Amino acid sequence: MDATEFRNFGKAAVDYIADYLENLRDRPVLPSVEPGYLQELIPKVAPQEPEKWQDVLADMERVIMPGVTHWHSPHFHAYYPTANSYPGIVGEMLSAGIGCIGFSWITSPACTELEVAMMDWLGKLIQLPQEFLNCSDGPGGGVIQGSASESTLVGLLAAKQRTVRRVQVLHPEWDEATIKGKLVAYSSDQSNSSIEKAGLLGSMPMRLLPTDDKCRLRGTTLEQAIKSDQEKGLIPCYVVATLGTTGTCAFDCLEELGPICNKEDVWLHVDAAYAGSAFICPEFRHLMAGVNYADSYTFNPHKWMLVNFDCSAMWLKDSQYLVDAFSVDRIYLKHRHQDRAPDYRHWQIPLGRRFRSIKLWMVLRLYGVEGLQQHIRRQVGLAKEFETLLRGDSRFEIVTETSMGLVCFRLKGPDTLTKKLHDRLMARKNIYIIAATFKDKHILRFAVCSRMTESRDIQFAWEEIRGQAEQILLGNDA
């Protein structure tokens, strides 16, 4: 393909994407295909001769779209949002066009330097303490990871490094393997599955501690767990607190957990994957009170801040533990400026890294802080609108306080009613919501996700839910 063809193909693809997004409301949010559907639609082997791009682009509708779950549909209310915006998409295109691998400063100085600057823009925007910023005098700084899951694992490995070093001083007779075998991590039973996975991958038992009646991890619970492990000769190493849990968007009590972690010299990581974007609005910032106690902090602009996946922002108060833990040097990786700029390969698991900060730069400049704040506030407002509709119908109950863009509810009565409601909604495919459990009860989670969701879509979803509930309660639930 030459540049002329690329221009034509690229422009047609941009038109296709714009048409797709602008008309998403008209597509069923969930696909109707069965496993294996795609194998019937494409040849068994790669084509011998080059094909025409027009034919390949046409196959997007024939082959791909029937099997797409439309995450950006205004009727997608499952999980949490995954970001999508035109500035984010163009940022992705430009990043792909440059196609550099910026694992060290010299392998593409702009890639490192824009990331350093964007992480400071973002850190200042949510008013993170100065010591987390790249522009601070100390060893703190920010980096873009691919996912919150990676941030949690990276935090765990840095915590391990710090604890081993500390304990080696206290117990010079213990070797590293002995110390590592005693380390323990903690999070809540509401934390995301990726937290438990980080424990598995990092070979550190992750205790999932019980939460209070608002699904929050409390200080006393952590304190008791730490004490009990210490009595067994174990060494508490890592705590992951969640701001905005996946199930009900609950906020762990950071101001209680933080002082305990600091006193016990336990690394505190904060996972604000979804809700963290809201802290660009001053009125939500009280929910991050206690962040000053944290050693590392993460939120995903790729969830709720309109930066297309992947872009997980992570800050550390002291990046040196990470650099020490992850440093593997080879002569071909060295360069003469390595003391003057971060080599981000030491801050992450892979060696290669994409130019992800371009997306962040595009979104921050083209929306501006005000545009992004408006987006968050609008979605929180839409969740409130849905809550009001539910409250007006006595057959439903709201099970937890509506938090950010998430409403958790159920049909009053036995769980079977709510389960049936969910089954019906899934079968009809007009809206997509997922189920969860809360205090052993079956509940439904309604999240405002797409940037294109409007009041009419909330009304549409409500009519769909209310109508199906009515059928079930009338006994027409065959």
Residues that bind ligand PLP (CB under 6 A): 79-80, 147-149, 192, 194, 242, 244-246, 271, 273-274, 300, 312
The nearer residue to ligand PLP, 164 or 241, going by C-beta atoms, is: 241
The nearer residue to ligand PLP, 159 or 215, going by C-beta atoms, is: 215
Using DSSP, state whether 436 is helix, strand or coil: strand
The nearer residue to ligand PLP, 245 or 468, going by C-beta atoms, is: 245
Helices assigned H by DSSP within 24-129? 53-59, 86-98, 109-125
**C-alpha 406, offset from chain centre:** 15
Smallest separation (angstroms) from ligand PLP to the CB of 397: 24
Using DSSP, state whether 129 is helix, strand or coil: coil
Smallest separation (angstroms) from ligand PLP to the CB of 108: 24
Q: What's the Cα-to-Cα distance from 423 to each of 69, 96, 431, rounded to whole Å? A: 17, 41, 12
Smallest separation (angstroms) from ligand PLP to the CB of 251: 11
- Spatial neighbors of 126 by CB under 8 A, at least 6 apart, are 276, 279, 280, 285, 288, 299
The nearer residue to ligand PLP, 243 or 425, going by C-beta atoms, is: 243
How buried is 358 (Cβ within 10 angstroms: 0-12 exposed, 13-18 middle, 19+ buried)? buried
Residue 98 neighbours by CB distance under 10 Å: 14
The nearer residue to ligand PLP, 163 or 191, going by C-beta atoms, is: 191
Q: What is the DSSP string of 202-265?
A: TT--EEEE---TTS---HHHHHHHHHHHHHTT-EEEEEEEEBS-TTT--B--HHHHHHHHHHHT
Q: How far apart are CA 38 and CA 427, in angstroms?
A: 21
Smallest separation (angstroms) from ligand PLP to the CB of 152: 7
The nearer residue to ligand PLP, 274 or 344, going by C-beta atoms, is: 274
- In 3D space, the residue among 114, 119, 115, 86 whose CA is nearest the CA of residue 371 turns out to be 86
Smallest separation (angstroms) from ligand PLP to the CB of 445: 11
Smallest separation (angstroms) from ligand PLP to the CB of 262: 23
CB 470 within 8 A of CB 88: no
Smallest separation (angstroms) from ligand PLP to the CB of 147: 3
According to DSSP, residue 296 is labeled E
The nearer residue to ligand PLP, 294 or 472, going by C-beta atoms, is: 294
127 phi-psi bin (left φ>0, alpha ψ -120 to 50, beta other):
left
The nearer residue to ligand PLP, 107 or 300, going by C-beta atoms, is: 300
Q: How far apart are CA 240 and CA 152, in angstroms?
A: 8
The nearer residue to ligand PLP, 118 or 313, going by C-beta atoms, is: 313
The nearer residue to ligand PLP, 195 or 364, going by C-beta atoms, is: 195
- The CA-CA-CA angle for residues 201, 202, 207, to 5°, reads 95
Smallest separation (angstroms) from ligand PLP to the CB of 244: 6
Smallest separation (angstroms) from ligand PLP to the CB of 250: 10
Smallest separation (angstroms) from ligand PLP to the CB of 201: 13
- Spatial neighbors of 428 by CB under 8 A, at least 6 apart, are 464, 468
Q: How far apart are CA 317 and CA 134, in angstroms?
A: 10
Smallest separation (angstroms) from ligand PLP to the CB of 241: 11
The H or E element spanning position 178 is helix 176-180
The nearer residue to ligand PLP, 80 or 132, going by C-beta atoms, is: 80
Q: Which two tokens stand for residue 88?
A: 């984010």
